[in-house]
A and B are shown apart, each in its own frame.
Chain A
Amino acid sequence: MTRSDELARIEQFLYREARYADEHDYDAWEALWTDDALYSVPAGGDLSGDQGAQMSVIYDNRNRISTRLAQLRTGKRHSQTPPSGLRRLISNVEILGREGDDTLVGANFLLAESRERGTEIWAGRVSYRLRLSDGDIRLAAKTVLLVNRDRPLPTLAFLI
C-alpha cells in the first residue's frame, strides 16, 4: 500500500468515526474501540503530569466507555435528552508515527453543537492511536485537546 493509499484509508476511518459520533450511533461507535481503549479529554493547560493522577474532562478506559454509552442509551441522560445536534469537520490529517503495530495520527477538528441553551463551537486537536486488526482499522486511543481546555467549559455530554 502506498503512503497516499494508507492516508486515504485512515481518513475514511476518521470520517466514519466522526459520523457515528455526530449521529449518536452508539453501537457502531463502540464497536470501533479495542479492548485496551483510552478515550481522553484532558483539562487545564499543563499536560506534563500523570493524567491518571489529575482531573480530566474525560479519561475512559474500555469499561467506562461502555458505562458512558449505556447511560446514553437509557434515554434518561438528561444532558443528552434530546441529543445535541452535531456536525464536525476533521482536517489536517497526518500520519505522525508508529509504535509497534499502532499508527499514530493527528488531525484538527471543528464541531458545532446545537442545544436549547444555544450553539456551542468546539475545536481542537485530536490524536488517534489506530490498530489494524483482522483487516479492519480499530481505535485504540483518542485524545481530544480542546483549544479552550484551560477555561471553564459548558456541559460536554455528547461523544466528542
Chain B
Amino acid sequence: MLTRPDYGQLIKPDRVHGSLYTDPEIFAEELERIWYRTWVFVGHESEVAQPGDYVRTSIGLQDVIMTRGADGQVHLLLNRCAHRGNLVCEAGRGNSRSFRCPYHGWTYRNTGELIGVPFNQGYGGKAAIERALSLARVPRIGLHRGFVFASMAADGPDLAEHLGEAAGELDRLARLSPDGQVELTAGWLRHRTRANWKLLAENETDGYHPQFVHGSIFSVTGSPIGSLYSDKSTAVTRNLGNGHSENDLRPEFRKIGEPMRWFGTTAERVPAYVARMRAVHGLAAEQILVEGAPHVMIFPNLFVAEIQVFVIQPLSVGECIQHSTAVQLSGAPELNRRMVSQSVGSVGPAGMLLADDTEMYERNQRGVAMRQPEWLDLRRGLARERTDERGLTIGTATDETAMRGFWAHYRSLMEAL
C-alpha cells in the first residue's frame, strides 16, 4: 500500500507546511476527502427560479448541472452521458425539460431519467435500456436560505450539522431582505487565479491584510473599512467550527450605532427600504440595520463578504477560479442596483479590491514553492485567544484565529478513514 502524507506532520497549531499548497498528490487527496465528501456550495435556488431552468456548476472537478424539475425541486446531475461519457449540456444556463446528448442523440429528463435512445432495437427495445441507465445524480442536496449545497458522499453529517454555527450568518444575511430572501441573480464574474484554492479560503477572513493589500483604494476613497481591521478595532475574528470562520464587525457598527452605516450609507438615502424593514421587524429593525451583513467563510468554498458572494472552484494544485456576484435582497430594489454597482467596482478581474488580492494569491503561490523556510506561520494572536459566550474561539480583528480553525478542520477531514 502506498504511504499517505502524514497530515499531523504538515499541520501544526501555529504553522502549516508549504507542500500543502504545491503537492499534486495532496490536491488529489483533497478532491476525494474534501470536495467529493463534505458539503460544497453549488449555487442558489434563485438561479433556477422556474421549472426547467438550469445552470452549469461544479463540485471539485466535476461538471454538474443544477436544474429545477417540473416537481419544483432542485436537482443536481453530473454532466456526463451514460452512453459514452460525452457532455450532455454545453450551455452555461437555459431552460429545458430535457438534455439531448449531441453525440448519439440520447435524451434525458432534467431530473436525470433516460427518456430516449435512437434506434433502440439495438438494445432490445426502449424500456430495457431506459431502465438500465440514467444521468448520475449527486447523492445529497441540502438547502439553507436558498443556498444550495451538495455532497458527493451518500452518508455523513447532514447539512445542518456541517453548517453548524455558520448557518446563523446566512440567516443574518437573509434577514436584511424585507421578504427574508436572498437572490443571486445578477450574474457571475469568473476570475482565473493561478494559486492553490486554500490561499483564497484562508485570506477571506484574514483581518490582517486589508490595510496593506487594499491601502491604495482605501486612501483614494477615504474608506473607513481599513480601520475596522486594525489594532484598535473592537471587531473579532471567530472560529465558527467545521472550518467556517467570520470577521464579526458588529462591535464596531454597534459603537457607531447608525442604521445602514455597514453599507456606507444612511437611512435617509434609502428611505423605502428602511421603512419596509421597520414595518416587518418592528423594534428589532434598528439592531438589524445597525449590525448589517455577515463576513463569513463557509468551508470549503463559499464566502459572503457583506454584499458580495464568492465561490472558490479548484482546478488543480496551482489554479482555481473565483466566482463573484452581488447579493440581491428580495423586496429591496433601492439597495439592489447599488449593491451591483459597488460589487462591480470591487470584485472580479478588474475589481479595485479583488484584483489586488488575486495578485497576492498568485505571488504567494510562487513563494510557497521555495524550499525554505518550508512553513507558513499561523501563530498571530494564538496567545491572546479567548472563548466567547457561545463557547467559540475568538481573536482580535487581525488575528489568525480563522486560519487555525480552517486547518484544524482540514486536518480532521484529511485524516478521516
Interface residues of A (CB under 8 A from B): 41, 43-45, 52-60, 64, 67-68, 70-71, 74-79, 117, 150-157
Q: In the bound complex, do residue B358 and residue A74 qualify as a contact, i.e. CB atoms below 8 Å apart?
A: no
Interface pairs (9), CB distance under 8 Å: A41-B350, A53-B186, A54-B340, A55-B186, A55-B343, A67-B221, A70-B220, A78-B356, A155-B355
Select which of B190, B341, B350 is within 8 A of A152 by beta carbon.
Answer: B190
Question: Which chain A positions have C-beta within 8 A of B336?
Answer: 53
- Given A52-B340, A77-B356, A78-B359, is A152 in contact with B220 using a C-beta cutoff of 8 Å? no
Question: Which chain A positions have C-beta within 8 A of B358?
Answer: 79, 155
Taking CB atoms and an 8 Å cut-off, the chain B residues in 319-367 that contact chain A are 321, 324-326, 336-337, 340-341, 343-345, 348-350, 352, 355-356, 358-360, 362
- Given A64-B345, A67-B352, A156-B349, is A74 in contact with B186 using a C-beta cutoff of 8 Å? no
In whole Å, how far is A112's beta carbon from the nearest beta carbon of chain B?
Answer: 17
Q: In the bound complex, do residue A55 and residue B355 qualify as a contact, i.e. CB atoms below 8 Å apart?
A: no
0 or 1 for each of B235-278: is its CB under 8 Å from A? (1 = yes): 00000000000000000000000000000000000000000000
Select which of A52, A57, A68 is within 8 A of B349 by beta carbon.
Answer: A57
In whole Å, how far is B196's beta carbon from the nearest beta carbon of chain A?
Answer: 15
Q: In the bound complex, do residue B186 and residue A52 qualify as a contact, i.e. CB atoms below 8 Å apart?
A: no
Q: In the bound complex, do residue B216 and residue A71 qualify as a contact, i.e. CB atoms below 8 Å apart?
A: yes
Select which of A67, A117, A152 is within 8 A of B191 by beta carbon.
Answer: A152
- Given A53-B186, A78-B356, is A71 in contact with B350 using a C-beta cutoff of 8 Å? no
Select which of A44, A68, A152 is within 8 A of B352 by beta carbon.
Answer: A68
Q: Give complex CA distance A157, B350 in Å.
A: 5
Q: In the bound complex, do residue B324 and residue A152 qualify as a contact, i.e. CB atoms below 8 Å apart?
A: no
Question: Which chain B positions have C-beta within 8 A of A117?
Answer: 194, 362
The 10 A-B residue pairs with the shortest CB-CB distance, nearest first, are A152-B190, A76-B216, A79-B355, A152-B192, A79-B359, A156-B349, A70-B220, A74-B216, A78-B359, A157-B355
Question: Which chain B positions have C-beta within 8 A of A153?
Answer: 190-192, 349
- Given A71-B216, A74-B216, is A56 in contact with B344 using a C-beta cutoff of 8 Å? yes
Q: In the bound complex, do residue B350 and residue A57 qualify as a contact, i.e. CB atoms below 8 Å apart?
A: yes
Is the CB of B24 closer than 8 A to any CB of chain A?
no
Residue of A nearest to B343 (CB): A55
Q: In the bound complex, do residue A79 and residue B340 qualify as a contact, i.e. CB atoms below 8 Å apart?
A: no
Q: Give complex CA distance A54, B184 in Å.
A: 11
Q: Give complex CA distance A70, B215 in Å.
A: 12
Is the CB of B62 closer than 8 A to any CB of chain A?
no
Q: In the bound complex, do residue A71 and residue B325 qualify as a contact, i.e. CB atoms below 8 Å apart?
A: no
Q: Give complex CA distance A35, B395 in Å.
A: 47
Q: In the bound complex, do residue B189 and residue A55 qualify as a contact, i.e. CB atoms below 8 Å apart?
A: yes
In whole Å, how far is A82's beta carbon from the nearest beta carbon of chain B?
Answer: 11
Q: In the bound complex, do residue A78 and residue B360 qualify as a contact, i.e. CB atoms below 8 Å apart?
A: yes
Is the CB of B219 closer than 8 A to any CB of chain A?
yes
Q: In the bound complex, do residue B355 and residue A53 qualify as a contact, i.e. CB atoms below 8 Å apart?
A: no
Q: Give complex CA distance A95, B417 in Å.
A: 67
In whole Å, how far is B63's beta carbon from the nearest beta carbon of chain A?
Answer: 14
Is the CB of B217 closer than 8 A to any CB of chain A?
yes
Question: Which chain B positions have C-beta within 8 A of A45?
Answer: 92
Question: Which chain B positions have C-beta within 8 A of A44?
Answer: 92, 187-188
Residue of A nearest to B348 (CB): A57
Q: In the bound complex, do residue A71 and residue B362 qualify as a contact, i.e. CB atoms below 8 Å apart?
A: no
Residue of B nearest to A66 (CB): B220
Question: Which chain A positions have C-beta within 8 A of B187?
Answer: 43-44, 54-55
- Given A71-B220, A71-B352, A157-B355, is A152 in contact with B321 using a C-beta cutoff of 8 Å? yes
In whole Å, how far is A76's beta carbon from the nearest beta carbon of chain B?
Answer: 4
Question: Which chain B positions have C-beta within 8 A of A43?
Answer: 187, 189-190, 348
- Given A59-B341, A152-B191, is A74 in contact with B219 using a C-beta cutoff of 8 Å? yes
Question: Which chain B positions have C-beta within 8 A of A60?
Answer: 345
Q: In the bound complex, do residue B350 and residue A58 qualify as a contact, i.e. CB atoms below 8 Å apart?
A: yes
Question: Which chain B positions have C-beta within 8 A of A150?
Answer: 92
Q: In the bound complex, do residue B343 and residue A154 qualify as a contact, i.e. CB atoms below 8 Å apart?
A: no
- Given contact pairs A54-B340, A57-B348, enumerate 13 new A-B contacts (beta carbons under 8 Å): A43-B189, A55-B187, A55-B344, A57-B344, A67-B217, A67-B345, A71-B216, A71-B217, A77-B216, A78-B356, A152-B321, A155-B191, A157-B355
Q: In the bound complex, do residue A156 and residue B355 qualify as a contact, i.e. CB atoms below 8 Å apart?
A: yes
Question: Which chain B positions have C-beta within 8 A of A41?
Answer: 350
Is the CB of B213 closer than 8 A to any CB of chain A?
yes
Q: Give complex CA distance A60, B350 in Å.
A: 11
In whole Å, how far is B95's beta carbon from the nearest beta carbon of chain A?
Answer: 13
Residue of A nearest to B215 (CB): A76
Question: Which chain A positions have C-beta within 8 A of B216?
Answer: 71, 74-78
